[in-house]
């Protein structure tokens, strides 16, 4: 492909188990800080980890707005955020999480804004529901905890 203006790219293919192991090591602290994921079965955690999406936000970006649908939750990998409601403000830092997934269809309770350029891992509600279908005991436990 050289000579025709296209550059050669090398792809590194990793096995599913190796990807899960890398994600587990990188995200272990995030998972342990999240109540709904803390002390869960390793197979469940691995299934959740493979659904995480990496996102980057610029300073002053709004990640979620108060009173909007709850479609995903976020794990703070790097930097800080400001959570603001009509009644309080709180700063979140690396290792924190925000934006619970919907056990029901309530709206978001706060607006979250990036205070710096920052990195997050997000978990979509649809992806989480798919994982929960494979782990009915965890689903049952989470429902009981939510009530």
pLDDT, tens digit (0-9, with 9 covering 90-100), for 134-146 = 999 998 888 887 6
What CATH number corresponds to the domain at position 57? 2.60.120.10
Q: How many domains does the chain have?
A: 1
The reply to whether 95 falls in a domain is yes
Domain range for 117 is 16-146
The verdict on residue 4 lying in a domain is no
Residue 57 covered by a domain: yes
Residue 98 forms part of a structural domain: yes
134 located within any domain = yes
d(CA 143, CA 145): 5
Residue 1 within any structural domain of the chain: no
Give the pLDDT band of residue 1 (cuts 50, 70, 90). very low
Going 53 to 140 to 28 to 92, the CA torsion angle's sign is: positive
d(CA 8, CA 21): 29
Q: Is residue 8 part of a domain?
A: no
Q: Please write the tens of the pLDDT for every residue from 86-126.
A: 787 888 877 788 876 655 567 777 888 888 888 888 999 89
């Amino acid at each position: 492909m050289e000579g025709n203006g296209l550059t050669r790219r090398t792809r590194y293919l990793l096995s599913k188990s190796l990807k899960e192991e890398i994600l587990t090591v990188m995200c272990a602290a995030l998972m342990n800080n999240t109540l709904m994921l803390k002390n869960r079965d390793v197979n469940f955690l691995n299934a959740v980890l493979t659904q995480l999406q990496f996102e980057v936000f610029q300073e002053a970006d709004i990640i979620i707005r108060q009173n909007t649908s709850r479609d995903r939750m976020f794990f703070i990998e790097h930097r800080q955020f400001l959570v603001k409601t009509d009644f309080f403000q709180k700063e979140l830092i690396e290792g924190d999480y925000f934006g619970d997934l919907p056990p029901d269809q309530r709206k978001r309770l706060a607006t979250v804004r990036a205070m710096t350029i920052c990195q997050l891992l997000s978990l979509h509600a649809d992806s989480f529901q798919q994982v929960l279908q494979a782990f009915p005991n965890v689903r049952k436990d989470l429902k009981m905890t939510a009530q």
